[in-house]
Chain A
Amino acid sequence: MYKSQVNLSKGGPVVAQSVTEAAVGDASRLAARGVTVGYGGRTVIDGLDVAIPPGVVTTIIGPNGCGKSTLLRTLSRLLKPARGTVVLDGEDIGRLRTRDVAKKLGLLPQAPVAPEGLTVADLVARGRHPHQSWLRQWSSDDAEVVERALAMTGVADLADRPVDSLSGGQRQRVWISMTLAQGTDLLLLDEPTTYLDLAHAVDVLDLVDDLHESGCTVVMVLHDLNLAVRYSDHLVVMRDGSILAQGHPHDVVTAELLYEAFGLRAQVIDDPVGDRPLIVPIGRTHVRPDTSR
């Protein structure tokens, strides 16, 4: 391919380049281009580029305060970048109507809270909001989609229960169900496993995997590295507001990278139950003397 470019006439490479760019733009439905984001006077992300690959689970990881949630919030339009643009389906997300964004992109913020006593069915039904209007507040379409969302997330049996009476894991399933009821195939989840014990975290991530199987593109922020490695097809590793590495966990996760990103000494070994790498952290204590550091 390189050779053919060389052989092209003078205008050739430019055309070829723009074709490649267009191809990338088509493939990725959501991308950030040179975004700079900050809170008040503090810049958290400076001139970052990222394209979310379609149809897979992308997880943003990185140490605390590296800007991973900020990046997710920028991609979802919760934060407006000071410079640069976020492109959703080829359009500048900042110029789209809020409602139109909500029809294409579902967002679950970190640790949302439902009013006390609200039932699961009512919460999930609210997910239809972007498709409704003052006059058309509830149609049979809405009912169908909500029933499907409830069934898919396995909370249909809980539909009558108040959300606050559920366990943390069930509650998170309900919130994901609401996001699904939005009817988008692009889901952004900000730390969906926060405050969950490991069993419930695995349960929620299995659900994320189900969503991916059904054709959704998922972008999430996770704290737990091994869960991130196990459940994602694309990792975006961040440090200090920029991207250190990205790619399939196989290619990205190495002891060197973990040290560079987190300052963590670790061994990367084969996962005994999965086909992905497994990170074994090495602390200062409780380590056998023969461990290679």
Chain B
Amino acid sequence: MTDVKPSLPPGVRLGRVSFFWRPWLVGVSLLLAAAAFLVFCVSIGVGDFPIGLPQVIRTLLGRGEQVDEFVIMDLRMPRALAGLVVGVALGVSGAITQSIARNPLASPDVLGITTGAGAVAVFLVTVSGGAAAAVADTVGLSAAALAGGLGTGLLVYFLAWRRGIDGFRLILIGISVSAVMEAVTTWLLVTADIRDVAQAQAWLVGSLDDRSWGEVQVALWGTLALLAVVAAVAFQFKPMHFGDEVAAGLGVRYAAVRAVLLLCAVLLAGMAVSAAGPVPFVALVAPQVAMRLARCPTPPMLASGLVGALLLIGSDLVARAVLPVSLPVGVVTAAIGGPFLVYLLVRANLR
């Protein structure tokens, strides 16, 4: 028996477009999207003035009552949308960095992006007067943090560059640079005024509180633009899961593809950090969860983003609605994401 037809995924053709048909991956992605939308709507409905799920959906479709519309679109939408955007950005960013390094440890948290952003933000909050105040006033805390994350990410990339990028080296240098940035942050916090420290701490945990439409819009459009670039390059990226040389043999200009995607990953993480602070663990855990749910050998981009969104909005919902004290979302993402990843790994061991 050499009939191999069943083992090759069937192809689908729509005019000039053709692609693999992988029902499981498509099904999982659709389910994740549906789940994310549901949690998104529930998250909007929950609050001091509860709104039922049907009303939320009706309002989102533009057919709600005026009172609901005010509460939903003006008061609650920025927070929910920020959660969605930040979750997707972190999930996709993690999927890219883990794929490039071919190592599940390589998340934006490890590569110095979030710690760099954190150090810059804490510097601006704690060091009062002079240049720091001027910077904070003119460009805003979020933009400065974005620049800090971007700068640190690029620094790690160039330090790790030695005739190409080796995943292991990238992670080691990322950890080292992150450690330095964390030391700077700690030093700033220890020496700063106690009131500034409280504000800086709140930012460092990662939170969706008090988002304005303006902040969310920047993150939303930035993320959408970056996702478009990622989608365009994703096809050329596929052979790179087998290593640079195999990819080169298959006609991929791997250095260019990798540079573009890594820059996208750094910018996506930077967008997320500037919108919600360094929310921990989402970028690390979302691609790993997506991989196992979708039964893919490599992190699937779309599903990773959806898992990230689900995790972030879900955590925010739990933080606000279930727990007796209202906690920043970052505390909950780590508390939910960590055990879930352990569960997936243990289940794989038991099989």
- The interface of chain A, by Cβ under 8 A from chain B, is 39-40, 76-78, 97-103, 106-109, 112-123, 125-127, 129-130, 132-140, 142-143, 146-147, 150-151, 156-157, 159-160, 162, 179, 182
Of B1, B4, B298, most A-chain CB atoms within 10 Å = B4
Minimum CB distance partner of A146 in chain B: B8
In the complex, which residues of chain A have a beta carbon less than 8 angstroms from the beta carbon of B3? 156
In the complex, which residues of chain B have a beta carbon less than 8 angstroms from the beta carbon of A77? 248
- The interface of chain B, by Cβ under 8 A from chain A, is 1-9, 11-13, 16-20, 102, 163, 232, 235, 238-239, 241-243, 245-246, 248-253, 297-298
Minimum CB distance partner of A184 in chain B: B249
Contact A159 B8 (CB under 8 A): yes
Contact B235 A137 (CB under 8 A): yes
Known: A103-B251, A130-B251, A137-B19. 10 other contacts (CB 8 A): A40-B163, A77-B248, A108-B246, A119-B7, A132-B235, A136-B18, A137-B18, A146-B8, A157-B1, A182-B249
A11 to chain B, nearest CB (A): 44
B248 to chain A, nearest CB (A): 6
In the complex, which residues of chain A have a beta carbon less than 8 angstroms from the beta carbon of B102? 115
A-B contacts, 12 listed (Cβ < 8 Å): A98-B248, A112-B243, A113-B242, A114-B242, A126-B250, A129-B238, A134-B232, A140-B11, A151-B4, A179-B249, A182-B249, A182-B250
In the complex, which residues of chain B have a beta carbon less than 8 angstroms from the beta carbon of A98? 248, 251-253
In the complex, which residues of chain B have a beta carbon less than 8 angstroms from the beta carbon of A134? 232, 235
In the complex, which residues of chain A have a beta carbon less than 8 angstroms from the beta carbon of B2? 151, 156-157
Contact A78 B245 (CB under 8 A): yes
A115 to chain B, nearest CB (A): 4
Contact among B4, B232, B249 for A109, CB-based, below 8 A: B249
Contact B18 A138 (CB under 8 A): yes
B3 to chain A, nearest CB (A): 8
In the complex, which residues of chain B have a beta carbon less than 8 angstroms from the beta carbon of A132? 235
Minimum CB distance partner of A164 in chain B: B297
In the complex, which residues of chain A have a beta carbon less than 8 angstroms from the beta carbon of B250? 102, 126-127, 129-130, 182
Contact B16 A136 (CB under 8 A): yes
In the complex, which residues of chain B have a beta carbon less than 8 angstroms from the beta carbon of A159? 4, 7-8
* Known contacts A112-B242, A118-B297: A125-B248 contact under CB 8 Å: no
Contact B235 A133 (CB under 8 A): yes
User: How many angstroms between the C-alpha atoms of A115 and B104 in the bound complex?
Assistant: 12
Contact among A121, A142, A162 for B4, CB-based, below 8 A: A121
A117 to chain B, nearest CB (A): 4
Contact among A109, A140, A142 for B243, CB-based, below 8 A: A109
User: How many angstroms between the C-alpha atoms of A115 and B297 in the bound complex?
Assistant: 6
User: How many angstroms between the C-alpha atoms of A116 and B299 in the bound complex?
Assistant: 12
Contact A147 B19 (CB under 8 A): no
Contact B242 A137 (CB under 8 A): no
Contact A160 B7 (CB under 8 A): yes
Contact A117 B297 (CB under 8 A): yes
Contact A116 B297 (CB under 8 A): yes
- Top 9 closest A-B pairs, CB basis? A102-B251, A107-B249, A159-B7, A109-B245, A130-B251, A99-B251, A117-B297, A118-B297, A138-B11
In the complex, which residues of chain B have a beta carbon less than 8 angstroms from the beta carbon of A139? 11, 13, 18
B171 to chain A, nearest CB (A): 17
User: How many angstroms between the C-alpha atoms of A182 and B247 in the bound complex?
Assistant: 12
A179 to chain B, nearest CB (A): 7
Of B232, B249, B297, most A-chain CB atoms within 10 Å = B249
User: How many angstroms between the C-alpha atoms of A112 and B251 in the bound complex?
Assistant: 16
Contact among A106, A119, A126, A140 for B239, CB-based, below 8 A: A126
